[in-house]
Amino acid sequence: KKKIAVMTSGGDSPGMNSAVRAVVRAGIYYGCDVYAVYEGYEGLLKGGDLLKKMEWQDVRGWLSEGGTLIGTARCMEFRERWGRKQAAGNLIREGIDALVVCGGDGSLTGADLFRSEWPSLVKELVEDGTFTEEQVEPYKNLTIVGLVGSIDNDMSGTDSTIGAYSALERICEMVDYIDATAKSHSRAFVVEVMGRHCGWLALMAGIATAADYIFIPERAAPSGEWQKELQRVCQAHREKGRRNNTVIVAEGALDDKLNPITSEQVKDALIELGLDTKITTLGHVQRGGTAVAHDRWLATLQGVDAVKAVLEMTPDTPSPLIGILENKIIRMPLMESVKLTKSVADAIEHKDFDKAISLRDSEFIELYENFIST
Ligand code: F6P
């Protein structure tokens, strides 16, 4: 009987519970034993109670729960080889040789490394007497399948990551609230959103709320000049009758010399224009709460496909990442997607912003610049 473990890793995201639920139930449906790894990679390292066999009813009601009910962590020890060796030992002890990981690119890269090291880790576990040759015989290979759970929507090769649309929804709701009070006082608001090095949340929220201006890492603002441009746009909107201004700043926003653009700097520029300006940093409210329908069905379909991928994979199949492209659930080599994602960061680092934009959501950036922030 195939034994599959499912875990969540890195920052939690709405929809992770739907993904775990789908893996548990699809696994049982296909005749497998399914385990949940609690507390992310930490659970793999510690084993014992943190590796729990799941039954059909254990995940009842999970679709509408926020966060991740099996816990998550950013685990430093798993970055070390000794940590991965300990994790391998715990998996073999439970008889598990397939792992479905739902997390961001860091967590998935760690999973792929774990898989490539697996034969040598097992060899070491035999050499140091932890297991006998006979005991490890059935565990020659480890199967890894990746699901992307992140509010940042920063993974290349897939249209949306599990949690991104929920966070976006939350941001838009908050901006609507802020707009109401801003209009009452004729104020300007700088709203800082998450996204790490990716501007997707800021960009899509900018379009969905018609924010006056946005700052995102991919469209680096001209250093020393962006203040004037921001002031011009906000002024123009006021002249057209707008009673408030909303500026959305991605937490990773940069100028073209790669200096961070902070909400404080943006606020100062708006005050210079004579606007009564406040800052709201949305923080973790945008990550918590229940998942929107999009993330629930995305995680469900992808969780089911992850189990199918586990059952279809051979030792030579590159670890797949389950994505979505043009409304179809797809599989692509996980490391190809990680490489593509890294090329965006490299383009930004080399100040090749046109390339960074072309690798991201260029059509949405154009739409925003030409029709909203004019
Ligand atoms: O990757 C998800 C994310 O929420 C990012 O947008 C943000 O930069 C980071 O995690 C915050 O991490 P933490 O919850 O550890 O502060």
Alpha helices, H only, the chain: 16-29, 41-46, 81-94, 105-127, 133-136, 164-185, 200-209, 226-239, 263-272, 293-312, 334-349, 353-359, 362-367
196-224: per-residue pLDDT in tens? 999 999 999 999 999 999 999 999 999 99
List of residues 6+ apart from 28 with CB closer than 8 A: 34, 55, 56
Amino acid code (one letter) for 16? M
Q: Are strands 33-37 and 51-53 parallel, antiparallel or unpaired?
A: antiparallel
With the most atoms of ligand 1 within 8 angstroms of its CB, the residue from 251, 287, 341 to mutate is 287
pLDDT in tens, 248-273: 999 999 999 999 999 999 999 999 99
Q: Is the pLDDT of residue 361 over 90?
A: no
196 Cβ inside 6 Å of ligand 1: yes
- Whether 152 is catalytic is yes
CA-closest residue to ligand 1 atom 12: 11
Is the model's pLDDT at 373 over the cut of 90? no
Q: Quick: pLDDT tens for 305-322.
A: 999 999 999 999 999 999
Query: Per-residue pLDDT tens for 119-140?
Result: 999 999 999 999 999 999 999 9
Evaluate: CB of 300 within 6 angstroms of ligand 1.
no
Separate counts of helices (H) and strands (E) for the chain: 13, 11
Predicted confidence at residue 171, as pLDDT, reads 98
Q: How far apart are CA 144 and CA 193, in angstroms?
A: 32
Ligand 1, atom 15: closest residue by C-alpha:
11
152 labeled part of a ligand binding site: yes
pLDDT at 227: 98
Predicted local confidence at residue 362, as pLDDT: 87
**With contact defined as beta carbons under 8 Å apart, do 316 and 36 qualify?**
no
Q: What is the ipTM of this complex?
A: 0.98
The ligand 1 atom nearest the CA atom of 151: 2
> Which are the contacts of 244, defined by CB distance < 8 A and separation ≥ 6?
179, 182, 183, 186, 187, 188, 189
Nearest-atom number in ligand 1 for the CA of 286 is 4
Q: What was the pLDDT predicted at 51?
A: 97
- The answer to whether 246 touches 193, Cβ cutoff 8 Å, is no
Question: What is the three-class DSSP state of 140?
Answer: coil
* DSSP H or E run through 193: strand 188-193
**For 299, phi and psi rounded to 5 degrees?**
-65, -35
Give 55-80 pLDDT, tens digit per residue: 999 999 999 999 999 999 999 999 99
Q: Is 112 annotated as a binding residue?
A: no
**For residues 267 and 275, what is the distance between their CA atoms, to the nearest angstrom?**
9
Write the pLDDT tens digit of every residue in 149-185: 999 999 999 999 999 999 999 999 999 999 999 999 9
Is residue 52 marked as binding?
A: no
CB of 149 closer than 6 angstroms to any ligand 1 atom: no
